[in-house]
Structure 1
Amino acid sequence: MSRSAVLCSMPATGHVGPLSVVAGELVRRGWRVRMLTGAGYEAPVRASGAEFVALPAEADTLDSIGAGERTRGLATINHGVEQAFVAPAAPAGQALEQMLADEPADVVLHDMTFLGVQTLFSRPRDQRPATVLCGIGPAGFSSVDTAPYGLGLVPWRRTVPNRLRNRLLYRTSRVVLRPVHRSLDRFLADVGAPGLDGAFFMDVLDRSDLLAQFTVPEFEYARSDAPAGLRFYGPMVPPAAEVADVATPAWFDDLDPHLPLVHVTQGTVANTDFTEVVGPTVEALADLDVQVAVTTGGRPTSALDDLGPLPANVFVASYLPYDELLARTDVLVTNGGYGGLHHAMRHGVPIVIAGDSEDKVETSTRVQHAGVGINLRTGRPTPAAVGRAVRAVLDDGAYARRAHEVGVAIARSSGVVGLVDDVEALVQESSYPPLTKES
């Protein structure tokens, strides 16, 4: 009898990439793997060895939403979450149910934003596959020790005042975030799944049997009341043989090894307006004894033309060989993509972060809380703010030391091998009969 898995990912690079790594490991162990995601991601899914299944068009919307004007603050949660994740949930759930009807599976692994998986929880535990939540972003489970997700507030050090503050914030959040709570409750009622029953909307995520967070405890808030199924595996890193071979630009070997190298990027999603982070960084560092490596996240380098003539210490490429680049980097300036932050910390690179949209308000506070860098608390920093932060990180070795410590923790994490070990144990130890067909 072969084991069968279905993986579900919302259509975005930062979601599909980590789940494709998981799919590849399952395939290597002889699992039959199908992956449900957006039509634009067929190539990376098939490259992992998994079978590709396209989301219906009405659920394949996240990339187009992300390309539009980004919302910030409470609007990101109320309107952004409802539009990006709750609205596609019903058609995504129907597609998942059809896949399982066509061929049952032992386990469904889903990214934390794939709310269509909630359709499975309309059935008793022994009548559905095992489920695994894949934490491709900061953990959002409510806790007496943390403020509500989306507010970008780090825990206070003193326990009693911290818990009193958090209790008040959760009460307030259920009022100001009433639209997203109502929207999610309507969807849950429509599919027959348990409602929120007054819980914070992010707590819908802890229904899965295993809550696999793709980070290490050193980069996440401690929760004394964490869900029992929460486990940390570190970032999902593809085997070296599967890492895309990116050409090294001619200027790479001309970098002066005696000068600090600052790498600035706005990632692969929020990179339509380079005046947000790249522009202020280039301006701030123009007259410093540093070198600046800019990547445009796949966009043509001509996209930087709106910034005007670039200073002589700036070097530009669409992509760079990231491991080689980060091995030489002294500071990363970024808007805070979860995967990119972990890539930097794997190399012990300290961070200056400027992000206030999507989940970046939460990734920014993790950088601050973990001590691996400086949080500028805005998505549009001034050149003066960037310059001060970069100089502070270069002058104070504590940030680099802490980034190195987190990097050591990442290197020691069990990664995709440990995750799939636990998935296999979960399926093996489940009390219900296997749902796969005889091979």
Structure 2
Amino acid sequence: MSNILIATLPLAGHVNPLLPLARELVTRGHGVLWYTGRHFETAVRATGADYAPFASAPDHGDTPLDDVFPRRRGRSGLRAIDFDMRHVFADPIPAYVRDLTALNRRFHAGTLVTDAGFLAGAALRRLLYLKWVAVGVMPLLATSVDTAPFGPGIAPRSDALGRLRNRALSALLQRGLLAGANAHTARVFETLGLGRPARFMMDLPFHEADVYLHGSVPTFEYPRRDLPGSVKFVGPLLPDPATTFVRPAWWDELRGGRPVVHVTQGTLDLDFEKLLRPTLQALEREDVLVVATTGGRPVSDVRGPLPANVRLEPFIPHDVLLPFVDVMVTNGGFGGVQRALAEGVPLVVAGDTEDKPEVGRRVSWSGVGIDLRSGRPRPGRIRDAVRAVLRTPSFRARAQHLQQEYRAVSGPRLAADYIDALLGARTI
């Protein structure tokens, strides 16, 4: 067996998908050391992996990024992507490299496994001669002749005019709108003595990682004739089933015959006036049961009286709740959407930050739900979308089609198989 070093950005959406993979690697007898923020130490150790904290790299715990970076507040779309490329993804790279170089002097790993946003993997692959496995925890970012560039949530188009559009938009993005952020990242690599990367920043994991393990299935992703051969679809990397959750007193209402609508803003977005509160307002007169969760935050953070048909909890494990849900309203976190589709639940998506416009567009494109294309939708739009999803059988049929495709792949086991194949321990 081999020593495997895992490194992830200290963000739940980048850590959580790798937890079941780490557990699978430990079960197979690999030595696994995981480097990430202190907030995730308990979860990392629960997989059986050893834990290593950040030493020189900044560790902002579970503090929302807008509080860590006040200048980030209020940005959306490409302005937010530009900021995150510079300050969330690029700036910490030298500190990550220092920490992991020191760690590996005693751990002697031959393989580095990271989330796809951990771009220090491209540097460490060259500096420490490590094999690099990137794990996709968001929609595919790879530049393609068949798709518009990642970010704005533009639908794919692969005919002759579409390919012309795609090339023009990619050039505008890479040489114009995000050129400054890309140059900023290149300068960070230059400080490490590596020279400027030959590719656009978002493309590095697809072309420099030995294997890119994508946590979804082809049906939920845009077809690309030029997708690098390193990309392997492994299916959703879902958390282990809940074993300690205590069902609230109202739980039997889920079987009461009314459609069940679940609304969540994930774990990072704390402004419940964006989606959660408008959804409660939208559905207060509808004959549905609304189950809302606050991502672990106190329910008192949701201001104002609750409609009679709402049940509000800080957290309910999705594997326990989603089998009862008829439609999920979400801000479009990639992991939550994958979890819903793994249960065959159609969606209404409303998000305009990070990768959420791209997630929402794929929900619409694949026919599994409605993308409201807004981070602050009005209650009327939410109500109309929920009604449409509940009344149109094709949304659930498409979601259940994806559910069957998800069940056909083994997620963490298939991902671990690809890693073992890279190590020469098996063939696929």
Partner of 2:403: 407
| Alignment partners' CA distance in 1, 2:389 and 2:160 | 32
Answering whether residue 97 of structure 2 is matched by residue 93 of structure 1, we say yes
Q: SS where residue 93 of structure 1 aligns? A: helix
CA distance in 1, matches of 2:275, 2:321: 19
Distance 1:74 1:401 in 2: 34
Separation in 1, partners of 2:145, 2:342: 30
Shift of 1:333: 0.3
Change (3 A) 1:253 1:57: farther
Contact 2:122-2:209 at 8 Å conserved across structures: no
The residue aligned with 1:186 is 187
| Alignment map for 1:224-263 (pairs within 5 Å) | 224-240=225-241, 243-255=242-254, 257-263=256-262
Deviations 1:99-136 (A, max 9, x none): 2222311211010111222222435xxx7121100101
Shift, 1:295, TM fit: 0.7
CA deviation map 1:46-88 (0-9, x unaligned): 1000110011353324844525335201111211221111111
Relative to structure 1, the CA distance from residue 319 to residue 363 in structure 2 (aligned partners, 3 Å threshold; closer, same or farther) is same
8 A contact 1:235–1:415 mirrored in 2: yes
- The one-letter code sitting in structure 1 at the alignment partner of 2:9 is M
CA–CA distance in structure 1, aligned partners of residues 23 and 216 of structure 2: 19
User: How far off is 1:194 after superposition?
Assistant: 5.2
Matched residue type, 1:223: R
Alpha-carbon distance between aligned partners in 2 of 1:5 and 1:236, rounded to the nearest angstrom = 18
Question: What SS class does the counterpart of residue 57 from structure 2 fall into?
Answer: helix
2:254·2:324 contact (CA, 8 Å) conserved in 1?
no
Q: In 2 relative to 1, CA 70–30 (structure 1 residues): closer, same or farther, beyond 3 Å?
A: farther
Helix, strand or coil at the partner of 1:30: coil
Offset from partner CA, 1:254-290 (integer Å, 9 cap, x none): 34532111000111111x1111001111111111111
Letter in structure 2 aligned against 1:273:
D
Whether 2:107 is the aligned partner of 1:109: answer no
In structure 1, the gaps of 5 or more residues are 431-439
Q: TM-score of the superposition, structure 1-length normalised?
A: 0.92
Match of 2:414 among 394, 414, 418: 418
Residue 83 of structure 2 aligns with an amino acid whose one-letter code is H
Identity of aligned residues (%): 38
Change (3 A) 1:138 1:62: farther
| Structure 1 residues 128 and 49: alpha-carbon distance in aligned structure 2, compared to 1, 3 A threshold | same
CA contact (8 A) 2:263 2:276 kept: yes
1:347 matched to which residue of 2?
A: 343
Give the CA RMSD over aligned residues.
1.7
Shift of 1:178: 1.5
- SS for the counterpart of 2:263 is strand
Q: RCO greater where, 1 or 2, for CA within 8 Å and sep 6 or more? A: 1
Secondary structure, aligned partner of 1:428: coil
Measured in 2, the distance between the counterparts of 1:229 and 1:56 equals 32
| 1:31-430 alignment, distance < 5 Å | 31-56=30-55, 58-61=57-60, 63-64=62-63, 66-68=65-67, 69=73, 71-123=75-127, 128-156=129-157, 159-173=159-173, 174-193=175-194, 195-197=196-198, 199-206=199-206, 207-240=208-241, 243-255=242-254, 257-270=256-269, 272-304=270-302, 306=303, 308-428=304-424
Hey, what's the Cα distance between the residues in 2 that align with 1:392 and 1:340? Answer: 21
Partner amino acid for 1:303? D
> Partner residue of 1:3?
2
Q: Give the letter for the 1:276 counterpart.
A: K
| Conservation of the 8 A alpha-carbon contact between 1:59 and 1:89 | no
Residues 59, 92 of structure 1: 8 Å contact kept: no
Distance in 2, Cα, partners of 1:221 & 1:337? 18
Shift of 1:429: 7.1
Deviations 1:209-256 (A, max 9, x none): 00100111111111100011110011112444xx35221110111345
Q: Secondary structure at the match of 1:386?
A: helix
Write out per-residue CA displacement over residues 352-391 of structure 1, whole angstroms, 9 at most, x where no aligned residue: 0000001111111111111110000011000011011001
Q: For 1:358 and 1:337, how far apart are their aligned partners in 2?
A: 9
Q: Match of 2:35, as an amino acid?
A: L
Pick closer, same or farther for the CA change 1:238–1:335 going to 2, 3 Å: closer
Between 409-418 and 60-69, the greater mean CA deviation after superposition: 60-69
CA distance in 1, matches of 2:202, 2:109: 26
Say which SS state the counterpart of residue 327 (structure 1) adopts. helix
Letter in 2 for 1:296: T
- How much has 1:150 moved relative to structure 2? 0.9
Alpha-carbon contact 1:111-1:133 (below 8 Å) kept: yes
Where 1:363 maps in the other structure, the secondary structure is: helix
The equivalent of 2:18 in structure 1 is: 19
Distance 1:375 1:185 in 2: 34
Secondary structure of the 2:332 match is coil
Residue segments in structure 2 that go unaligned for 5+ positions in a row: 68-72
CA distance in 2, matches of 1:321, 1:201: 35
Partner letter of residue 36 of structure 2? T
CA–CA distance in structure 2, aligned partners of residues 61 and 83 of structure 1: 13
Opposite residue 279 of structure 2, the aligned amino acid is: T
